Structure 1
Amino acid sequence: MQLRIFTEPQQGASYDDQLAVAQATERLGFDAFFRSDHYLTMGGDGLPGPTDSWTALAGLARETSRIKLGTMVTSATFRHPGVLAIQVAQVDQMSGGRVELGLGAGWFEREHAAYGIPFPAKRFGLLTEQLELITGLWSTPVGETYSFSGEHYQLVDSPALPKPVQSPLPIIVGGNGPKRTPALAARFAAEYNTSFPEIADIPRRFDAVRAACDEAGRDPSSLVYSAALVLCAGATEAEFARRAAAIGREPAELREHGIAGTVSEVVDRLGQLREWGAGRVYLQVLDLADLEHLELVAADVAPQLPA
């Protein structure tokens, strides 16, 4: 099982804060550093203010050497797909082929209003066309052009450049919808992710994607199945309670909905997810200043997980 660190910088983090976590992620042996794509805090003052996800990842691409880098997930409302295809391909080049693109429909209407970004009522069509466009641009052979005519986007004779280092560059489709999201994952994704579900719902969500793959004629085992859940661990009960208080959460609630508790409890929860088919878990780290939290997981949890 791969463990990935997942951060929420819109809650209050500078680029340097993210860099410290990313470099700790690499040093401690985690598989990847991922970040959200948001422009507005969901509680608190959010100081020093938001950082753009792909700008930040471009910097991290040059200041790390091993870990994968990506978004969980980029909002389809924030960028034209042609621009996003260029941005992601460039960051993949800057990283030497270590980028993964998580893409979703967007949901936080208030941040769109705060920064003057259109927020259409119906966004699933945008997401579908963006997935088709981006994969079409990247897969067009060099020297050929790509055109697209859809309800939301039109491209005429695009040179479809630049290309990512990876071919194909892994795309992550995330969401908890019962039908349309699994169908998109089966069509476009290297990985399906369920973010912050009820724990008991995870097997059902994975099964829906497997069924969508069967319907599409795709081998369900060709996808990676993953979950994103909040992390709050402690070597002792007192340390766990201290970390829960630091992120404003109750210990009982964290145990119910996250990867939380003492080391043995965290190991048991991750083992349960693995039994259900999760090949990766995104550990949502909310206190970016607490690098000892990552050290605890790397030293005491990760060695107990099956390869």
Structure 2
Amino acid sequence: MELRIFTEPQQGADYDQLLAVARCAEDAGYGAFFRSDHYLKMGSVSGEPGPTDAWTTLAGLARDTSRIRLGTLMTAATFRLPGPLAITVAQVDRMSGGRVELGIGTGWYAEEHTAYGIPFPALGERFDRLEEQLAVITGLWETPVGGTFDFAGKYYPVSDSPALPKPVQQPRPPVLLGGMGPKRTPRLAARYADEFNLPFASLEDSAAQFDRVRAACAESGRDPSGMVWSNALVLCAGRDDAEVARRAAAIGREPAELRENGLAGTPAEIVDKLGRYAAIGSDRAYLQVLDLADLDHLELVAAEVMPQL
């Protein structure tokens, strides 16, 4: 199983902090550095110095790192128009030498939309818009050089686009979709996703949703073995119970709750839980790191968990 690092900068982080985590993750051998795409803090933290834009951050990291893959869990389709987003991601892919992945979803956090003047349609319309965004973004990337792209969409009609720039990765950067929606989510994943991700889901819920997506793949004539399956889980590792408790306290959580709902405990406990996710088909784990100053946390997992996977 591949391990990746996942951060939540809206909780309070500037670019230099994110760069330090990304470089630590790169040096330690993690497969990727991902970040959320949110414009407003959650919970009781101050959120200072304020939000950082996901794709501005990744553009900087594209030049300030050299090997680690970079992406979002998940860019909100409500934040950006699909044509400009396709340009942005393709540009960052070129800036990174072909290391970018696009996680994208409907958007769900109503308060961040009202806080920054972003329209927030009802869920059904958000799904409709996401489906059109996926068609436009992948269509622009996959149009042969010298050709043009057209799309007769309700929300995002495109006419005679030169479909430039092209990303380095061909036919396109990987697209990640995810979530627990029982109908539209599996159908969209079967059509567009290279990877299907579940955030903070139990083993039982993950297995059930993976089965729904596999069924949707089969219905559409796609071999589900070509999909990458992944989970995102909050990380709280320690060499012993005292270190686990210290790290849990630093993020305002309880060790018992994190052991139940996250990826917490000693290296042996974490290897065991990751093994149970692998048994239901998960190929990757995104380790949500909430204390970005604690780089020893990443190094501990790289040294004592990663070699056992």
TM-score (norm 2): 0.98
2:42 is matched with 42
- 1:85-234 matches, within 5 Å, as 85-121=86-122, 122-167=125-170, 168-234=172-238
Farther-moved stretch of structure 1 (196-205 vs 137-146): 196-205
After TM superposition, give the deviation of residue 196 of structure 1 in Å: 1.1
Match status 1:289 vs 2:290 = no
1:268 is matched with 272
Count of residues paired in the alignment: 305
Show CA shifts across 1:211-256 (max 9, x none).
Answer: 1110010001000000011010100000000000000011111011
Match status 1:240 vs 2:241 = no
8 Å CA contact retained: 2:203, 2:276? no
- 1:18-29 matches, within 5 Å, as 18-29=18-29
Q: Which amino acid aligns with 1:42?
A: M
Cα distance in 1 for partners of 2:306, 2:201 equals: 23
8 Å CA contact retained: 1:233, 1:261? yes
After TM superposition, give the deviation of residue 149 of structure 1 in Å: 1.6
Q: Which amino acid aligns with 1:96?
A: G
After TM superposition, give the deviation of residue 140 of structure 1 in Å: 0.7
Cα distance in 1 for partners of 2:91, 2:54 equals: 14
SS of residue in 1 equivalent to 2:154 = coil
Cα distance in 2 for partners of 1:201, 1:78 equals: 29
- Give the superposed CA RMSD: 0.7
2:83 is matched with 82
8 Å CA contact retained: 2:5, 2:33? yes
Cα distance in 2 for partners of 1:29, 1:55 equals: 24
Q: Unpaired segments of 5 or more residues in structure 1?
A: none
SS of residue in 1 equivalent to 2:305 = helix
After TM superposition, give the deviation of residue 199 of structure 1 in Å: 3.1
Q: Which amino acid aligns with 2:154?
A: E
Q: Which amino acid aligns with 2:299?
A: E
TM-score (norm 1): 0.98
